[in-house]
Amino acid sequence: MARSDSGRVVIEVDPKTKRKLYASLALSGSTLKGWFSTVAEEYCTYGKTASLFQKDSLISPPTLAVGTSYRTQKKYSVVSMFSGCGGMDLGFGGGFEIFGKRYPKLPYEILWANDLNEAACRTYKKNLGDHIHPGDIWNLISTMPKKADVLIGGFPCQDISINGKGVGVSGARSGLYRAMVAAVDKLRPKVFVAENVRALLMKSRSDSLKQVVNDFSDLGYTLSVQLYKAVDYGVPQIRERVFIVGVPNGRPKFLPPAVERNRETWMTSDEAIGDLMDLVEDPAINHVWSRANVSPEQGNRKISANKPAHTIRAECHGNIQFHYKLPRRLSMREAARIQTFPDNFIFDSKLRETERQVGNAVPPVLAWHIANAVHRNLNEDETRSAKPTNSTRKKNV
């Protein structure tokens, strides 16, 4: 590569690689200059925010992924509810790397976020920004922006979860979905995304699902209610979650993102955390683990090296799964990896609270795929709106 004080960059590449690169750029609608500028800036930013893991060369520099350049595209405003430590928000923002794969930035700007848990808000602020507001959502909903393009949130699931009391959305915690309904009514977003546990689709919870669907639908939204297997999207754990995606009636329907893996190609536990086995315990990077003794049922689980991990839970009270090879339970850093948090995402809390934050989070990689599908929907809607109608054509004749 030629070097000078000018802004010009000259490199020599294999002709075959050059043809493939230009073909990919043509499909994505990007220019070589735009793509290179974007990934170069991300690479430099990545270097400035290097984690303690990178210092020890445990993960490589970012993969320069070819994708749509969002630098010159419109940014969509986002409001985030029940944000926790920021798993879904990180996914919507993009611009992170995990398992050697780069997930490019997406054209969203999160204007406002909220969570009741102050420790989770500290973690969010440390990694994602100052726009997080700790406190009761009902006390803060009036401080939301007047409008937003997208509303996202994972409303509390404790009353719906299989491990919960099973009282459904009439419970004090899961009943907070009504705050999302109120926010949709207030903001009138072009798309909203609500996440919850698989149990919402169980027959015994059918009344809860019907109530949630009716309340959102009554606001004039068409809903997509679908169960997603995180493992199909590159998340190394058997985690199933329901996503309710709503768009205003009459607008293009939301199309779920295509899966990228199957049972034969699911990422295994060893692929995800095998390189951390020789790392000494270090609280500074959340590489700490519970000393809880073996206990019945879930407290006695052990992950397998050649399979995805079991679901990383929030309220396991130290009974997180045992490592497949080492004589201990998983560390919080290993659990964060399994949830697809990048290594430079540091949790600002001690072990038990970190366990809660990691387990409650939406895996950022899964959220990134959902966010990409939402962006396609927004683009489709804008493209349709830009096309002249028959009445417009007549006026122009």
Which residue would you say has higher pLDDT here, 384 or 272? 272
What's the one-letter identity of residue 211?
Q
CA distance linking residue 345 with residue 52, whole number of Å? 10
Residue range 203-216, pLDDT digits in tens = 666 788 888 999 99
Helices 15-28 and 32-48 meet at what angle, rounded to 10? 90
Q: Is the pLDDT of residue 2 over 70?
A: no
pLDDT for res 60: 42
Look at 139 and 33; give whichever has higher pLDDT: 139
DSSP state of 194: E
pLDDT at 336 over 80: yes
Q: What is the mean pLDDT of residues 17-30?
A: 63
**Alpha-carbon torsion angle 201, 312, 327, 287, nearest 10:** 180
> Which residues make Cβ contacts (< 8 Å) with residue 147, sequence separation at least 6?
77, 187, 188, 189
Whether pLDDT at 363 is above 90: yes
Confidence of residue 87 (pLDDT cuts 50, 70, 90): very high
Pairing between β-strand 150-153 and β-strand 221-229 as defined by DSSP bridges: unpaired
Q: Which of 108-117, 276-285, 290-299 has the lowest mean pLDDT?
A: 290-299
- Weakest-pLDDT range from 164-178, 225-239, 289-303: 164-178
Tell me what the mean pLDDT of segment 294-313 comes to. 88
pLDDT at residue 39, rounded to an integer:
67
What is the average per-residue pLDDT within 191-202? Answer: 88
Q: How confident is the model at residue 201 (pLDDT cuts 50, 70, 90)?
A: confident
- Per-domain boundaries in the chain: 76-258+364-386
278 φ, ψ to 5°? -90, 5
Hey, what CATH topology would domain 76-258+364-386 get?
A: Rossmann fold (3.40.50)
Once rounded to an integer, what is the mean pLDDT over residues 74-100? 96
pLDDT of residue 174: 43
Confidence bin at 54 (pLDDT 50/70/90): very low
pLDDT of residue 387: 67
Instruction: Give the pLDDT of residue 294.
Output: 86
Q: What is the rounded CA–CA span in Å between residue 227 and residue 199? A: 10
Share above pLDDT 70 across residues of the chain, in percent, rounded to a whole number = 77
**Taking all residues of the chain, what is their mean pLDDT, rounded to a whole number?**
84
d(CA 322, CA 307): 14
For residue 394, how many other CB atoms are within 10 A of its CB?
9
pLDDT at 69 over 70: no
Tokens of 307: 């399979």
Report which of 57, 20, 3 is spatially closest to residue 279, judged by C-alpha positions: 57
Which range is least confidently modeled, 50-64, 96-110, 217-231? 50-64
Given pLDDT bands bounded at 50, 70 and 90, which one contains residue 365? very high
The pLDDT, as a whole number, for residue 321 is 94
Average pLDDT estimate for 41-68? 49
pLDDT number for residue 57:
37
pLDDT tens for 119-174 read 999 999 999 999 999 999 999 999 999 999 999 999 885 444 444 455 445 544 44
Q: 58 pLDDT exceeds 50?
A: no
Check residue 67 and give its pLDDT.
Answer: 47
pLDDT at residue 62, rounded to an integer? 45
